[in-house]
Structure 1
Amino acid sequence: MEHKLKSVLSGTGFYLLLAVCLITAAVSGWFLLFSGDKPDEEQAAPTETVSAPVENAYIPEPEPEPEDEEPPVEASAPVPVEVEIVPTMPEVQVDDTPVMAEPPKLIVEPLKGEVLMAFSMDQLVYSPTLADWRTHDGVDISAKPGTTVLAATAGTVSSVEDDPLMGTTVVIEHQGGYATTYSNLQARPTVEPGDLVTAGQIIGAVGATASAEAAQSPHLHFSVTQDGEAVDPGEFLKS
Structure 2
Amino acid sequence: MKRVLGLLFVLALLAGGTVLLWPMLKNAQRYAGLLSAPTPTARSLPNPLPTTRFVDTWGGARSEGRTHEGVDIFAPRDTPIHATTRGIVVNVGPDRLGGRTVMILGPGGQRHYYAHLNRYPDLSRGDWVEAGDVVGYVGDSGNAKGTPTHLHYGIYATGGALNPYPLLKRN
TM-score normalised per structure 2? 0.68
Matched, 1:237 2:163: no
Q: RMSD of the alignment, in Å? A: 2.6
Structure 1 Cα separation of the partners of residues 93 and 115 of structure 2: 10
Residues of 1 paired with 2:140 and 2:121: CA distance?
13
Letter in 2 for 1:206: V
Q: 1:187 aligns with which of 91, 95, 119?
A: 119
The structure whose RCO (Cα within 8 Å, separation 6+) is larger is 2
Q: Distance in 1 between matches of 2:159 and 2:145?
A: 26
**Aligned residue type for 1:136:** H
Work out the CA distance in 2 between the residues paired with 1:228 and 1:167. Answer: 24
Shift of residue 234, structure 1, vs aligned partner: 1.3
Cα pair distance change 1:103/1:193, threshold 3 Å = farther
Over the matched positions of the two proteins, sequence identity in percent amounts to: 33
Contact 2:140–2:147 (CA under 8 A) maintained in structure 1: no
Are 1:223 and 2:158 an aligned pair?
A: no
Q: Which has the higher helix share?
A: 2
Letter of the structure 2 residue corresponding to residue 199 of structure 1? A
- Structure 1 CA distance, aligned partners of 2:120 and 2:65? 31
| Preserved CA contact (<8 Å) 1:113 1:142 | no
Cα distance in structure 1, aligned partners of 2:114 and 2:67: 18
Of the three residues 190, 203, 208, the one matched with 2:135 is: 203
Q: Which runs of 5+ in 2 are unaligned?
A: 1-25
Specify whether residues 103 and 114 from structure 1 end up closer, same or farther in structure 2 by C-alpha distance, changes over 3 A only. Answer: same
Cα deviation, 1:186-230, whole Å, max 9, x if unaligned, reads 2333321101111111111112212x2235311000000111510
After TM superposition, give the deviation of residue 117 of structure 1 in Å.
Answer: 6.4
Q: Which moved more, 1:182-191 or 1:218-227?
A: 182-191
- Show the 5 A alignment for 1:162-181: 162-181=94-113
CA contact (8 A) 2:86 2:107 kept: no
Q: Residue type matched to 1:173 in 2?
A: L
Question: Where in structure 1 are there 5+ consecutive unaligned residues?
Answer: 1-96
What does residue 115 of structure 1 align with? Answer: 54
Q: Count matched residues.
A: 135
